[in-house]
Amino acid sequence: MTQLTPVLTKNWDLPNSFTLDGYGEYAAAKQALTMDPDAIIQMVKDSGLRGRGGAGFPTGMKWGFIPQNDGKPHYLVVNADESEPGTCKDIPLMLANPHALVEGVIITSYAIRANYAFIYVRGEVLHVIRRVQAAVREAYEKGYLGTNVFGSGYDLEVVVHSGAGAYICGEETALLDSLEGYRGQPRLKPPFPAVAGLYACPTVVNNVESIASVPSIVTNGADWFAGMGTEKSKGFGIFSLSGHVTRPGQYEAPLGITLRELIDMAGGIREGHELKFWTPGGSSTPIFTAEHLDVPLDFESVGAKGSMLGTRALQIFDETTCVVRAVLRWMEFYAHESCGKCTPCREGTYWLKQVLKRLDKGQGTEEDLATIIDVSDNILGRSFCALADGAVSPVYSSVKYFREEYLKHFEIGGCPFDRAASTVWGKA
Amino acid sequence: MTYSPEVRERLETDAKEIIGRYPRPRSALLPLLHLVQSEDGYVSDDGQEFCAEMLGLSKAEVVGVATFYTMYKRKPSGEYNVGVCINSLCAIMGGDQIWDELTEHVGVGHDETTTDGKITLERLECNAACDFAPVMMVNWEFFDNQNPESAKQLVEDLRAGKEVAPTRGPGRLCTFKEASRVLAGFPDGLAGEGPAASGPSLQGLKIAKANGWEAPVSDR
Ligand SMILES: Cc1cc2nc3c(=O)[nH]c(=O)nc-3n(C[C@H](O)[C@H](O)[C@H](O)COP(=O)(O)O)c2cc1C
Ligand code: SF4
Ligand code: FES
C-alpha cells in the first residue's frame, strides 16, 4: 500500500509552524545562493517536478525558457489565486507554512535571475494574507530578503499582492494583466510569459505548491524527489479530499496513489453510503465514478482514463447526490466567472446554465440533452483560454456516465433526489 | 462628498506607500481600491476619482477595473459581509439549506444589507476550504463547518455586537473596513493569532504519524 509522505505538511501540527521558529533557518536558500543559478535549474529539471497548479508543465523546463543576459528585468510571480472549485491545498499551506513558499521564492528568483517577485493571493482569504505578509516581513528582518540576501550580493524584493475576486485571474496571463492593474483577462499566447510576461519582461508564473516544493529538492537532491511518484509524475503532492468521506482533509502522498487508498485512509465514504462520482482535480476535470477507484493519480494515468490530475482536488459525492444539480452549480460558477472576452465562452456558459436549470427542474426534454452536448462542442477548443474547456468537462462526463439520471428528471418532472439526505446533518 | 483635507492627506500617504512597492504605478490599482474600501466601505465615486488622480489614469479606466472584480462593492455595504459558499460541494453538503434559512431569517437576499447597516449577505463561490464544508466567510475570515443553526446564531451575535471568532483566524473579527486595509497591504498585527492548522488540514499528517510514515530519507 502507498504510504503518505509529509514534506510540505510536516510541520503543520506545530502551533508556530508559520513563523521562522517553527520553520527553520532557510538552509536550502542559503545553500542555493552559493550555487550557479543554472545548476539549480538543472536540479529542478532532474527532479522531474511538474507544475502543481493544474497543467503539470515541467517546472525546471519553464525556468529554462527565461532568456539570459537579455538586459531586461526578470520576474517571478507566484500564483496563489486558488479558486478552482474543490481546490483547497495552497490556502492551508500558506496559512500553516508560508515560509516554505517564501524560501522557494528566493531560490526560484535567484535561479531565473529575478530581483523582484510577487505573490498574488486571492483576496478572499484574509488570514492567509496576514500569514504570508508576516512571513515576508520576518524574512526581510532576518536579511533573507531585500538587498544583499544572506550577504551573497544578491538582491530580492518580494511583494504580497491581494486579488479582488475573479477566478479567471488564476489563469496566468489574466493574472499578469490583473497585477499590472487591469481587468484580469487572458492574453494571447504566444508570446508566453517566459518571453513577455509582467511589464512585457521575462516572467515565470508558478503555483504556490510548485514553488514551496523547491527548498526540499535543494536540500535533499533531485534523486530523492524523483524517487517518489511514478515514472513521469514524480515526487509528492497534496491531495485534498472533500465531501462525503468520513475524514475529509489534506493528504500529502506520492503521485500515483489511488483514490481507493486515500478513501481508505480517510475512514471510507461516510457511513451507510457509497461512492457515486468524484473529481480528480477540481470541477474543470471530467468526473470519475467508482470504476476509477484504482486509477493511479498521476498525470498520465488520469489522462488515459479521460480526465486530468489537475490540482488533486478530490471532491467526493455519494449516492444521495444529484449529478445534474452538481453540474448546474458548476455551470453557474463558470457563467459567472467567464471574463466575457470571447463569445463561445461568454454566451455558451450562459446557455448551458439556462438549459441545465431546466433539466434540473425536470422541465427539460431529451432534446435538451443533445443541446447541452452541442453547445459544449461549440465551446470546447473554440474559446480563448482554458476556463471554457474546463466549463464543459462536467457536462460531457456527467452525460457520459449518468445519462439515465438526466432522463429520470424529465420522466418524473423533477429531481428524484432528497437534498436533505446529502447534507452533513442529513440522515439517510 | 469629497474627502476632507485630513482624510485626503492620510489616504495620500498610504497611497504613495502602496505605489512605491511596485515597479510600475498602475500595479497599485487593486490595492488602492482596497484602500478606498477601507475608508468608505465600498468603492465610492470619490475613491475612484482619488485612485485615478494618484495613478494618472482617467476615472473611466479605474471604474472599468473596479467593476471587473467582485470584492469591490459598488454601494455602501454592511459592517459584516456574511457569505455562504454555494458552489457545488458546499451547496450539496448543506450550503443551500444554510443560505435558504439564513436569508429567510435575516430578511435580505444576495448583496443586500440589513436596515441597521450591520449585515450584508452574499452567495460565495468556492473559497478553497472545501474540506471544511459547508463553509461561510465573514469579512473574508473562515467560519468552517457551519449548519443552519450556527449560521443564524452567528448573524444574531454579530447584530447584537457580541464578539465572534473565526474558526481559522484571529481571536476577534475585524470590520469590513479593517479587513480591507489588510488587503491593501497594511498588516494589522493579527497574523500570529489562531491555529497554524486545524481539523481536516491535519488529517493526513495525523495518519502518517500514527503509522510511522515519512517521506524517504535522502542519502545526502
Ligand atoms: C481559469 C483558470 C484558472 C486557473 N487558476 C489557477 C490558480 O488558481 N492557481 C494556479 O496555480 N494555477 C491556476 N491556473 C493555471 C495557471 O494558468 C498556470 O498554469 C499555473 O499557475 C502555472 O504554475 P505551475 O506550472 O507551477 O502549475 C488556472 C488556469 C485557468 C485556465
Ligand atoms: S474562454 Fe472565457 S474566460 Fe477565457 S478568455 Fe474567453 S471569455 Fe474569458
Ligand atoms: S465548495 Fe465551498 S469552499 Fe470549496
φ and ψ at A200, to 5 degrees? 60, 20
- Is the Cβ–Cβ distance between A387 and A171 less than 8 Å? yes
In this complex, do B169 and A126 lie within 8 Å of one another by their Cβ atoms? yes
Any A CB within 8 A of B213 CB: yes
- Is the Cβ–Cβ distance between A168 and A187 less than 8 Å? no
Chain B residues touching residue A424 (CB < 8 angstroms):
93-94, 133-134, 145, 147
In this complex, do B208 and A330 lie within 8 Å of one another by their Cβ atoms? no
pLDDT, one tens digit per residue, over A13-35 is: 999 999 999 999 999 999 999 99
The per-residue pLDDT for B220 is 76
Once rounded to an integer, what is the mean pLDDT over residues A46-65? Answer: 98
The 3-state DSSP composition of chain B as helix, strand, coil percent (nearest 5) reads 50, 10, 40
Ligand 1 atom closest to A211 (CA):
26
The per-residue pLDDT for B1 is 58
- Is the Cβ–Cβ distance between A313 and A352 less than 8 Å? no
Chain A residues touching residue B185 (CB < 8 angstroms):
133, 160-162
The per-residue pLDDT for A335 is 98
| Residue A427's pLDDT band (cuts 50, 70, 90) | low
What number is the ipTM of this complex?
A: 0.98
Strand order in the sheet with A288-289: A249-254, A236-243, A313-318, A275-279, A288-289
Distance from CA of B29 to the nearest CA of A (A): 5
B193 CA distance to ligand 2 centroid (A)? Answer: 39
Ligand 3 atom closest to A87 (CA):
4
The pTM score is 0.98
**pLDDT tens per residue across all 220 residues of chain B:** 589 999 999 999 999 999 999 999 999 999 999 999 999 999 999 999 999 999 999 999 999 999 999 999 999 999 999 999 999 999 999 999 999 999 999 999 999 999 999 999 999 999 999 999 999 999 999 999 999 999 999 999 999 999 999 999 999 999 999 999 999 999 999 999 999 999 999 999 999 999 999 999 998 7
Chain A residues touching residue B73 (CB < 8 angstroms):
none
A428 has pLDDT over 60: no
pLDDT, one tens digit per residue, over A325-335 is: 999 999 999 99
The per-residue pLDDT for A1 is 87
The per-residue pLDDT for B94 is 98
- What SS3 class is residue A70? coil
